[in-house]
Amino acid sequence: MNKLTIDQIDLAGKRVFIRVDFNVPMTENGTIREETRITAAIPTIRRALEKGGRIILASHFGRPEGKIMPEYSLRPVAERLSQLLGQPVALAPDCIGDAVEQMVNALQPGQIILLENVRFHAGETKNNPQLADAFARLADVVVNDAFGAAHRAHASNVGIAQRVTPAVAGLLMADEINYFNRAVRHPQRPVAAILGGSKVSTKIAVIERLLAQVDMILLGGAMAFTFFKARGQTVGSSLVEDEMLQVARDAEEQARARGVKLLLPVDAVIATSPSSTTTQIVSIDAIPEGWMGLDIGPATIQLFQQALQTAATIVWNGPMGVFEKPAFANGTLALAEAVAQCSALSVAGGGDTDAALRQAGVADRISFISTGGGAFMELLEGKELPGIAVLNDA
């Protein structure tokens, strides 16, 4: 994953096609609710402007399924980006076609155009060759800064990069690659992985991969109860994937064989349902029938905090409980504070993890928060991401 970056190539006077991720949440009246993905792309856009490029921005937004749908227009993004950059950002009427090519070719160095939603064309998600050819006609240079879409082989990130050279990483993409390498591929040890969430089935590939790379795994969230049931413990009405019991046993055995500490909760905050506000704190082996574990308890928080103090590198994916509910948020928020207080390199990824860190008010004290949930997970699983693989090697 040692790729050329925007800083290593000449952009003066060139048409610079920057694939960004402007798939931002919107309110019902069509205003931007949260603009992190827009602000995350600004350093790369500014760098391209500084280097004298003629800037073409491309992004998907929502799932219009290959149809032109006004509610999925990028117009609000173009307007907000104009404000943030302090210069006009024109919105093209489409992302390909003669009119768009004329607008792009008329760009002067330092000017910016935002193409309309690339998913208005069904060929985008199929990496259609004709669509990729049309994108390629707009570009002298390709810069991929959309890590959140890097696990998908689409026309606007992979197809175009197969047709235009150079194809390089933007500053955000370069950061994603760099921090992942530092945290997982070439880490300072000891390495601690925090894994949470509801299902073992969605995380087992990550668990198995990390067992070969880390020194300890702190495992919380509902998926811990599958491990407890696999041990023969009673878990009340807690969420369990019965089909994953043997997988959980195998993971514990693999951890023992490799000398990896696999820390599970020792107590839990329980209730009769996630919507209940009547809670108890009990030992993990004392959950009554009809009650379910919905957060880690104070003894587990202390256990995990102590473990993290020994770590030189921390990787985090997934909450410790149903943190969206105040009654079950304490474990995740306390762990977020613990990670923020550590001197370790800390890298977090996944939408819920990002949201929890911001809810805890510690996002600015985490070394790096990945902008891609699915892409971050696939990297943790050891998969090659097509949107990165296609870029030119340094």
Q: Which residues are catalytic?
A: 37, 199, 351, 374
Contact 65, 132 (CB under 8 A): no
Q: Enumerate long-range contacts of 225-231, CB under 8 Å, 24 or more apart.
A: 225/293, 226/200, 227/200, 227/251, 227/252, 227/264, 228/264, 228/284, 228/285
Token readout for 82 is: 């104009």
DSSP secondary structure letters along 111-151: -EEE---GGGSTTTTTT-HHHHHHHHTT-SEEEE--GGGTT
Sign of CA dihedral 278, 350, 75, 7: positive
Sign of CA dihedral 63, 65, 68, 70: negative
Q: At a CB cut-off of 8 Å and minimum separation 6, what does 131 contact?
A: 96, 121, 123, 124, 155, 159
| Residue 29 burial (C-beta neighbours within 10 Å; 0-12, 13-18, 19+) | exposed
DSSP-assigned beta bridge partners for residue 143: 18, 168
C-alpha dihedral over 301, 306, 309, 312, to 10 degrees? -90
d(CA 67, CA 119): 8
Contact 21, 41 (CB under 8 A): yes
Helices (H), the chain: 36-50, 75-85, 98-105, 129-136, 171-180, 200-210, 224-230, 245-258, 298-308, 330-341, 351-359, 373-380, 386-389
Q: Which amino acid is at 268?
A: A
C-alpha dihedral over 334, 33, 317, 156, to 10 degrees? -160
Bridge-based pairing state of the strands 267-271 and 368-369: unpaired
CA–centroid distance for 203 within its chain: 14
Structure-token match 């506000």, residue found = 277
Three-state SS at 56: strand
